[in-house]
Amino acid sequence: MELFELTALEIARKVRNREVSAAQVLESHLHHITAVDGVPGTLGGDQNTEPDKVHAFITLTADRARQQAAAIDAQIAAGQDPGPLAGVPVSIKDIFCVAGTASTAASKILANFTAPYTATAVERWEQAGAVVLGKVNLDEFTYGSSNESSAFQPAPRNPWNTAHVPGGSSGGSAAAVAALEGPISLGTDTAGSIRLPAAYCGVVGLKPTYGRVSRYGLIAFGSSLDCPGPLTRTVADSALALGAMAGADSRDATAATVPVPNYLAELEKDVRGLKIGLSPDYFRITYFDAASGDLMEQPVPASVRQAVLDGAQKLAQRGAEIVENIPMPHTKFGIPAYFVISRVEAASNLHRYDGVKYGYRTIGQVEDLRSLYRQSRAQGFGLQPKLRILMGMYVSAAQYSEQYYNRALRIRSLIRRDFDEAFQRVDTLLTPSTPAPAFAIGGIYGDSVLMQYADQLLVTGNHAGVPGISVPAGFEESGLPLGIHFFAPDFREDLLFRAGAAYEAASGPRNLAPAWVRGASSSLEVQS
């Protein structure tokens, strides 16, 4: 087995035991990335370049990583413990600031922006011994579920079938982890942006409780919804990654002061005695008919339903109690409410990109300040930020805010109440991750409304602030991965890890990466 195939737990153990050096682990990964990733996403790049590669990265910071690995090895040599992530290569969604590294948000407007500070989540991983490989691609400003909206092309592709999207917005993260380009990636989840690509790429994606992980250094989308979280290949790695970054932060007032448990120890407890709920409201999709505007409803596909029921059965066999028919009546309003709230916050968060202080400024002639703003923003932002600004400005205007924004806030409270009531009866909820597996590139892009319905079963967690985890649940007939998903009460990520790990164990060994990905490095070896 190659070093790049190891989990984070295995790497950290081997590095701490001096079985391998952090430098060896890093070089194995860098070599593998060269083989599978292809050209990085670049501003103005061609989306069709190397259609059989993954293209997870925007910026690979190999030199910086080598310095970090050398520092870890020096610590080990000096008899010091670098920490629980000793020598573990990680990638970072390019929506987090890392000092001295370009932080682009996959947007032209920030393409030249280098932050002088590092996000708390990244800083904590580094302090725990992680080695940062670089920054991975995403939908522009995280606005999307496919990564096609990135201004840095080619956009990431799904390693299980490179004609399909990896999902989004943490698509580069999911694709990187699935393609063995580092066992951990840091993503963000505003409406499913970690869990959906995790499901699409057959990896584990955790959205922690709002406030469990500091948002400092995370370029904001919907500030009241955004959650940093890890994408990993195993549930244990997810527990390891969360434990290394969770906790209060003096630089983020919304980061909770709730103590951080030892998630890896909790994970051993299995599911005996846990009450796991199923809700009929998570087995259907509600959407607006584009022609009539009517609210339509359809059941999720049988394969998706079956994956969840199969999961319930496996957990029941390990001693969990399955509770059916938990009502979650406001689930269907999650997407419309999200559309309003996230866009109001997004429009406001995007105000600062005005071409005055940093980032893109128009190179054209401007006659006054207004036209400097207009031209810089018109040229710097892609389609998705513009759509979000337009809608956000509209629904928060004084004459409409009661009708849209305030109503959306009321829906949000009702969704929260659904969860409060459900968690009176059960410890976790088991749901599908997505209504369908990854769609084909170019399939529904542009119709951002339809694409957003893919998040319908996940966004409720962002409204309510509760944590959720998507774990791989085999493959559809098409060969594309499926995921199942658990919700837990505030700050009970431990329950998610217990349920996820139990399901993982019950499912037996699984194919962690596509065959071509494993083979790519060895063929490179032969050539060299």
Partner 1 sequence: MEYEAVIGLETHIQLNTASKIFCSCKADSWNAAPNTNICPVCTGMPGVLPVLNRRVVEKGTLLAAAMHADLQPVSFFDRKNYFYPDLPKGYQISQYDRSLAKGGYMDVPQADGTLRRVTIWKLHMEEDAGKTKNDLISGSRRIDFNRCGVPLIEMVTGPDLRSADEAANYLTRLRQLLRWIGVSEADMEKGHLRCDANVSLRRKGETILNTKTEIKNVNSIEAVRTAIVKEIDRQSRAYEHGERIEAWTLEWDEDSQTLKKMRSKETEADYRYFREPDLLPVYLTDEWRAAILQDFPELPLARRARFMAGYGLPEYDAELLTAERSLSDYFEKAVQAYGGEAKRVSNWLMNDVLRMLNDSGKTTAQLALTPAYLADIIKLVEAGTINTNTGKGLLEKVNASGKSPEEIVRAEGLAKVSDDGAIRAVVEQVLAESPGEVAAYRGGKVGLIGFFTGQVMKKMQGKADAQKARALLEEMLR
Smallest distance, Å, CB 385 to partner 1?
13
Residue of 378, 397, 449, 505 that binds partner 1 (CB under 8 A): 397
253 vs 296 by CB, closer to partner 1: 253
Candidates 192-200, 293-301, 341-349, 494-502; binding stretch for partner 1 (CB under 8 A): 341-349
Looking at 62-70, 306-314, 355-363, 496-504, which segment touches partner 1 (CB under 8 A)? 355-363
Cβ 338 to partner 1 shortest distance, Å: 14
Q: What angle do CA 60, 62, 66 make, to 5 degrees?
A: 150
Report CA 403 to chain centroid distance, whole Å.
31
Task: Select the span of 152-160, 347-355, 435-443, 481-489 touching partner 1 (CB under 8 A).
Answer: 347-355
Binding mask 255-274 for partner 1 (x = CB under 8 A): --------------------
378 binds partner 1 (CB under 8 A): no
The C-alpha atoms of residue 66 and residue 58 are separated, in whole angstroms, by 18
Question: Which of 73, 126, 281, 345 is the binder for partner 1 (CB under 8 A)?
Answer: 345
Residue 202 backbone class (left: φ over 0; alpha: ψ -120 to 50; beta: rest) = left
Shortest Å, Cβ 412 to partner 1: 12
* C-beta pairs of 267-270 under 8 Å, 24+ apart in sequence: 267/235, 267/236, 267/239, 267/494, 267/497, 267/498, 267/501, 269/498, 270/318, 270/319, 270/498, 270/501, 270/502
Does 339 contact partner 1 by CB under 8 A?
no
Among 215, 343, 412, 518, binds partner 1 (CB under 8 A): 215
351 near partner 1, rule: CB under 8 A = yes
Choose, by CB under 8 A, the member of 119, 246, 323, 436 that binds partner 1.
119
User: Residue 528: exposed, middle, or buried by beta-carbon count in 10 A (0-12, 13-18, 19+)?
Assistant: exposed
142 binds partner 1 (CB under 8 A): no
Q: DSSP assignment, residue 427?
A: S
431/452 Cα distance (integer angstroms):
18
Should residue 155 be labelled a site residue for partner 1 when binding is judged by CB under 8 A? Answer: no
Shortest Å, Cβ 252 to partner 1: 5
Give the range of 321-329, 353-361, 485-493, 494-502 binding partner 1 by CB under 8 A: 353-361
Half-sphere exposure of 399 (CA within 13 A, CB side): 0
Cα separation of the two ends of the chain:
19
Active site residues: 93, 169, 193
Alpha carbon distance 204, 138 (integer Å): 17
- Does the footprint of partner 1 cover residue 408 (CB under 8 A)? no
Q: Which of 34, 42, 49, 223 binds partner 1 (CB under 8 A)?
A: 223
Distance between CA atoms of 242 and 244, rounded to whole angstroms? 5
In the complex with partner 1, which residue's Cβ is closer, 285 or 395? 395
Among 8, 65, 91, 96, binds partner 1 (CB under 8 A): 96
Single out the residue of 84, 87, 114 nearest to residue 99, CA to CA: 114
Is 492 in contact with 261 (CB distance < 8 Å)?
Answer: no
Nearer to partner 1, 93 or 314 (CB): 93
216 belongs to the binding site for partner 1 (CB under 8 A)? yes
SS3 517: helix
- Minimum CB separation of residue 254 from partner 1 in Å reads 6
281: left (phi over 0), alpha (psi -120 to 50) or beta: alpha
- Distance separating alpha carbons of residues 15 and 275, to the nearest angstrom: 38
Q: Does 163 bind partner 1 (CB under 8 A)?
A: no
Q: Among 38, 192, 197, 217, indicate the residue that binds partner 1 (CB under 8 A).
A: 217
Exposure string over 393-412, b if 16+ CB within 10 A, otherwise e: ebbbeeeebeebbebbbebb
Closer residue to partner 1 (CB): 116 or 509 = 116
Query: What are 311's two structure tokens?
Result: 């999961």
User: Residue 401, interface with partner 1 (CB under 8 A)?
Assistant: yes
SS3 call for 97: coil
103 near partner 1 (CB under 8 A)? yes
Do you know the residue count of the chain? 528
The dihedral built from the CA positions of residue 71, 72, 78 and 84, taken in this order, carries a sign that is positive
Q: How far apart are CA 284 and CA 270, in angstroms?
A: 29
Our finding on whether 68 is near partner 1 (CB under 8 A) is: no
Binding mask 227-256 for partner 1 (x = CB under 8 A): -----------------------xxxxx--
Site stretch for partner 1 (CB under 8 A), options 34-42, 170-178, 230-238, 349-357: 349-357
288 binds partner 1 (CB under 8 A): no
**DSSP-assigned letters across all residues of 254-321:** TS--PPPP-HHHHHTT-STT-EEE--GGGSEEEEE-TTT--EEEEEPPHHHHHHHHHHHHHHHHTTPE
Q: Where are the alpha helices (H) located in 50-140, listed in sequence order?
A: 62-77, 120-127
Secondary element (H or E) of residue 379: helix 369-380
How far apart are CB 207 and partner 1 at their closest, in Å? 17
Q: Does 410 interact with partner 1 (rule: CB under 8 A)? A: no
User: Is 224 a binder of partner 1 (CB under 8 A)?
Assistant: yes
Nearest residue (CB) to partner 1, 175 versus 350: 350
Distance between CA 419 and CA 409 in Å, rounded? Answer: 16
Q: How far is the CB of 150 from partner 1 (least distance, A)?
A: 17
Which of 291-299, 354-362, 426-434, 448-456 is the region at the interface with partner 1 (rule: CB under 8 A)? 354-362
By CB under 8 A, name the binding residues for partner 1. 96-97, 103, 105, 110, 113, 115-117, 119, 215-220, 222-224, 250-254, 344-345, 347-348, 350-354, 356-358, 369, 373, 393, 396-398, 401, 405
